[in-house]
Structure 1
Amino acid sequence: MSSRRPSIVIASLIGLALLAGYAWHANRNPGGGPRSTAEAPAAAQPVAVETHAVRTLALADDVTAVGSLVSNESVVLRPEVAGRIAAIGFRDGSAVRRGDVLVELDAAVQRAELEQARAALTLAESSFHRAQDLFARKFVSQSSLDSARAQLEVARAGVALAQARLARMQIRAPFDGVVGIRSVSPGDFVKDGDALVNVEDIATLKVDFRLPEQYLDRVRAGQVLSLASDALPGERFAATVDAVDPLVDAQGRALRLRARLNNPEMRLRPGGFVRVRLILAERGEVVMVPETALVPAPGNVQFVYRVDDGKARRVVVGTGVRREAMVEIVDGLQAGDQVVIAGQLKLRDGAPVQVLAGGSAAAD
């Protein structure tokens, strides 16, 4: 047993020597140099991203609503007395001037009454002049002269009354405007109060709309608003706030406003629906970034990746209003910063980035 021990020791030493030689050979570089016993891990690869330069823009604080167009003046003409229509002095949908006779009722009786009143006035004037002459020559008393003067005044009032009755047989346009479509014809007998035709002043239009009461201290007469109509897509019209109703609607807790809109070409018509954008205030130098730069995080937090020295830095930001795919940044960024707008899913704080050619938008 003791004679075999040296052989086992010698075999063990030979095995260890062979193992050491194999390890030395395996750790050599292809070029023949020895390998490092603790080779460093491969360096992180840059993440390809697109960036955008933070810019400042002039921004208008505004509020939107829906409104209705209303004629500047609107009236439905109705006769004050009953009668038969003798003539119609307009064409449907035509423009009329203030004072134009639109509808004339048969006034034969009224004209006769006026002639009778004028004849009575002529007689009363003659009687009064005769009484004056006789009174000057002391042939009549003061009371006779006063009676003649009173009869003259009654005759004059009779003429004025007859003229007023005759005038009511002619229905005139109360203002410049456009007449609607009549519902009567010559020869029709109409009663007092029957609707004949509407007249609309549409050279200027009113815009009625409502806003939540929270804007009560931010709206005032003279503010500018912009209108859009589905009837004229792609066009905008400017209007000005004309009045703010002092009463808040108790049902909807809304504030009623009325604006005024010039409509010289009469392209917009009353009764139409419009979208209203009311400018509350103008602000300059507002920091804006594309909405695609924002990354949501738990806890209602939003952040962006800002590129600093070739690395992505996570920056928590505060946001404001949004406008046309852009969002206001109220805290966290300043003009000129480069923010990532594409490729955020592969980023982490401090990761190296490679900005793709053409993927960096310079500030305007």
Structure 2
Amino acid sequence: MALKNKYVVFAVLGLAVASGAAWWFQSPARSSRAGAPAPQGNAAAKPGAQSPAKPVMVEATKVRQMTMRDDAEAVGSLRSRRSVVLRPEISGRITQLNFSDGQRVRKGQLLVQLDDQLPRAQVQQSRAELSIARANHKRNQELVAQGFISQRSVDESAANLEVAEAKLALAEATAQRLRILAPFDGVAGIRGVNVGDYLKDGADIVNVEDLDAVYVDFRLPERLQNKVKTGQTARVAFDALPGVQYSAVVLAINPQIDADGRSLAVRGCIDNRRLQLRPGMFARVTAVFGERSDANVVPEEAIVPDGAAPYVLRVVAGPEEGSQVAKRTTVRLGARTPGFVEVVEGLAPGDVVVTAGQQRLQRDGMAVRVVELGQPSAGRSAAGAEAPATASSAASQPVSGAATAAAPAALPPLPGANPCQSPLSATTQPTPVRGGQSS
């Protein structure tokens, strides 16, 4: 038992000696006296004085003003402003085809004539019957006035006259339906019939397209429903026509949101009097919601994300002459464009913000020194910064190298009235001369 107590005492003493030695060597005052050189001059008189902090080297740039467009990108397809597939309403044999494939046609032009010998004969017969009915009714009116016949005979002759008139109208309408006319000015497609073919009612003959103006249908996210308005412009580019850009005008917005895709259907109109665009083409649409020529922008790398309150480090003058410090400044961001971000609140033109080295600034107000190690990626294209920038509201899409090499050139407007500004009648009166059915 005595031996065990002896071991315990030795263990306690050993721990005490080790703790004291550790405290001795880790003491700041002891280590500074042991490793520091002998004090010299006035420096030895201030044991608590510290040397000034060394400035942190950072890269910075000035806030600049650019023309920013608030827009959104989408894809869509072209369709004719007016399109119809001509179909006969009555079966018959083709006797005339008065158009060629791809020919421009005029409204009311006779395109297809079906065999109308029998209907014309029925028209002549109905006219003869009408003439007899009219004469009988006139004679009965004279006889009833003289009291030779009853009023009932006059009523019967009047009814026969109305029946004869209806038969003539029916025969004429049947004959007219064998004449298929162009419902509007347009371009005829490629026909699939020939003279002598027998067509059943509803068989396709040829399509007619109004190509003076074409519609571009596209969809935008539902979050942009308050931005898009009728009358706004949109820029439209086509993969099939590289290097060319068209201008479209928003004509209509679907009042209903697509529940499946949570998107809003929009229709624009493009002046196509050059006849370079065709229905069905794939289109890349950039809907422009607004444009600001004095937007304050900074490079993307200057923004430090911090939840809902992003900030920048602004370089300002320090307390000492010639010194500079970094001040944290909360900003409110606006539209974005590749390489730049619009700052709506928090900065003014000419302010200097840090673009590289933010991670070395551990606290607000640290001394910094701006170095010229190279311009930030967004600032390397100074020439491009002077051009109007595009601020995309929709998700950005990858752009091919060929597309970034040169922006598509916008086509100048054509002289004369824009067909997109000419209203089209939404309704058409059913007439027997139009032998077509809209598609």
Is 1:194 the counterpart of 2:203? The answer is yes
Contact kept in structure 1, 2:57 and 2:357, CA below 8 Å: no
2:321 corresponds to 1:321:
no
Counterpart-to-counterpart distance in 2, 1:85 and 1:108: 12
The residue type equivalent to 2:152 in the other structure is: S
Give the alignment of 1:1-364 within 5 angstroms: 52-283=61-292, 285-291=294-300, 294=302, 303=312, 306=315, 311=324, 313=326, 318=331, 319-339=333-353, 350-353=367-370
Aligned equivalents of 2:371, 2:299: Cα separation in 1:
20
Partner of 1:28: none
Normalising to structure 1: TM-score of the pair? Answer: 0.75
- Deviation of residue 283 (structure 1)? 4.2
DSSP-derived class of the 1:329 partner:
strand
1:114-137 deviation digits (Å, cap 9, x = unpaired): 111111122222222322333333
* C-alpha separation in 1, matches of 2:210 and 2:80: 6
Q: Distance in 2 between matches of 1:304 and 1:236?
A: 40
Of all paired residues, the percent bearing the same amino acid is: 43
Q: 1:96-115 CA deviation, whole Å, 9 max, x = no partner?
A: 12221211111111111111
Distance 1:220 1:345, change over 3 A: closer
Aligned partner letter, 2:367: G
How many Å separate the matches in 1 of 2:248 and 2:359? 49
Preserved contact between residue 314 and residue 326 of structure 2 (Cα < 8 Å): yes
Residue deviations 1:140-169, cap 9 Å, x none? 332222222222221111111110110111
Secondary structure of the residue aligned to 2:216 is strand
> Could you say if the C-alpha distance between residues 298 and 53 of structure 1 is closer, same or farther in structure 2, counting changes exceeding 3 Å?
closer
Distance (Å, rounded) in 2 between the aligned partners of 1:311 and 1:280: 40
Compare the two structures and name the one with the higher strand fraction: 1
Instruction: Tell me if the contact between 1:312 and 1:353 (Cα under 8 Å) persists in the aligned partners.
Output: no
SS at 2:89's partner residue? coil
Question: Which letter does structure 1 place at the counterpart of 2:207?
Answer: N
* Structure 2 spans left out of the alignment, 5+ residues: 1-40, 44-50, 387-439
Larger mean CA deviation between 279-288 and 82-91 belongs to 279-288
Query: Which stretches in structure 1 are left out of the alignment for 5+ residues?
Result: 1-35
8 Å contact kept, 1:58–1:286: yes
Q: CA RMSD in A?
A: 3.7
Deviating more after overlay: 83-92 vs 349-358? 349-358
- The one-character-per-residue Cα deviations of 1:277-334 (angstroms, maximum 9, x if unpaired) are 222344453211344x637689896645647568574655644332243221245431
CA–CA distance in 2 between the matches of 1:296 and 1:151?
92
